A = this chain, B = another copy of it.
Amino acid sequence: MSGRLTVIGLGPGNADQVTPEASRAVADASFFYGYKPYLDRLDLRGDQTRIASDNREELARSNEALAKAAEGHNVAVVSGGDPGVFAMAAAVCEAIEAGPTEWRGVDISVVPGVTAMLAVAARIGAPLGHDFCAISLSDNLKPWELIELRLLAAAGAGFVIALYNPISKARPWQLGRAFECLKAILPGTTPVIFGRAAGRPDERIDICLLANAEADMADMATCIIIGSPETRIIRRGEKPALVYTPRSAAGPRK
């Protein structure tokens, strides 16, 4: 008897941004696996069980959840934001591929959510209004030289760049080094947005120019959006400024 595993995206952290599909998936499941701060967002019933684990334990968590589902249970794995963007859906797939054959018989579904860069962008205008990329700045699972290569390729080709996992106690220097790389090839006037806890009570959204961007303006809950040379700031007096990237773009720089 094979069960069901649903990877659920809880959105940026505001109950108002959780889709009805995600809420229903939460109501339907019996066992919940996730990073504790995400599980803490759920209002579970007495007949629902939560199993919290730390971050950086994604694969072990996926293995546990799949083993429980393979016993025939209805299991949920929860992520903040969207579970497909630097989150649990890929970890669950990795576990299925490496795991026992019976795990391939589990019904798997993924419930999408509003990922951090969309929530941050919405609070400031439309910085992702044209071609953009998302890069995890964590070098826990990939070499730093690959991250630099991607930053330079993206900025050089005119993509707006959203940085996930920008900094942590274990990764203190990487964000500063990323800014150095970008300052070498982008105009110092390029807008940079530091978006922390978008949509939550402790939200903080700051705009600065790339020339002034410093690593200590971010923490591990920040999503950073670095504009392209086309990205613009609209000043509006007492109203908050808007940052947007126009839908049109000129040709490649020669």
CA distance A93 to B243 in the complex (A): 8
Please state if A111 and B107 are interface contacts (CB–CB under 8 Å).
Answer: no
CA distance A236 to B107 in the complex (A): 10
Tallying the copies of this chain within the complex gives 2
Q: Which residues of B contact A94 (CB under 8 A)?
A: 244, 246-247
Contact partner of A118 (CB less than 8 A), chosen from B115, B158, B244, is B115
Q: Which residues of B contact A86 (CB under 8 A)?
A: 129-130, 247
Please state if A239 and B112 are interface contacts (CB–CB under 8 Å).
Answer: no
Q: Which residues of B contact A220 (CB under 8 A)?
A: none
Q: Does A21 contact B (CB under 8 A)?
A: yes
| 0/1 string, A186-226, CB within 8 A of B gives 1 | 00000000000000000000000000000000000000000
With A108-B242, A132-B134 already in contact, the answer to whether A18 and B16 are too (CB < 8 A) is no
| 0/1 string, A122-157, CB within 8 A of B gives 1 | 110111111111111000011101100110011011
Please state if A232 and B97 are interface contacts (CB–CB under 8 Å).
Answer: yes
Report the minimum CB–CB distance from A123 to chain B (whole Å): 7
Q: Does A89 contact B (CB under 8 A)?
A: yes
CA distance A128 to B83 in the complex (A): 10
Query: Can you name the residue of chain B whose Cβ is closest to the Cβ of A132?
Result: B134
Please state if B249 and A141 are interface contacts (CB–CB under 8 Å).
Answer: yes
Please state if A125 and B93 are interface contacts (CB–CB under 8 Å).
Answer: yes
Report the minimum CB–CB distance from A3 to chain B (whole Å): 13
Please state if A110 and B131 are interface contacts (CB–CB under 8 Å).
Answer: no
With A90-B130, A97-B232, A129-B90 already in contact, the answer to whether A112 and B121 are too (CB < 8 A) is yes
Q: Which residues of B contact A105 (CB under 8 A)?
A: 236-237, 239
CA distance A92 to B126 in the complex (A): 9
Q: Which residues of B contact A166 (CB under 8 A)?
A: none
Please state if A126 and B90 are interface contacts (CB–CB under 8 Å).
Answer: yes
Contact partner of A252 (CB less than 8 A), chosen from B145, B234, B248, B251, is B145
Q: Which residues of B contact A126 (CB under 8 A)?
A: 83-84, 89-90, 92-93, 110
Residues of A bordering B, CB below 8 Å: 9, 11, 14-21, 24, 58, 82-87, 89-94, 96-97, 104-105, 107-115, 118-119, 121-123, 125-136, 141-143, 145-146, 149-150, 153-154, 156-159, 232, 234, 236-237, 239, 242, 244-252
11 additional A-B pairs beyond A84-B122, A154-B157, beta carbons within 8 Å, are A19-B19, A19-B114, A58-B247, A83-B122, A84-B129, A90-B247, A93-B125, A96-B234, A131-B133, A143-B251, A153-B157
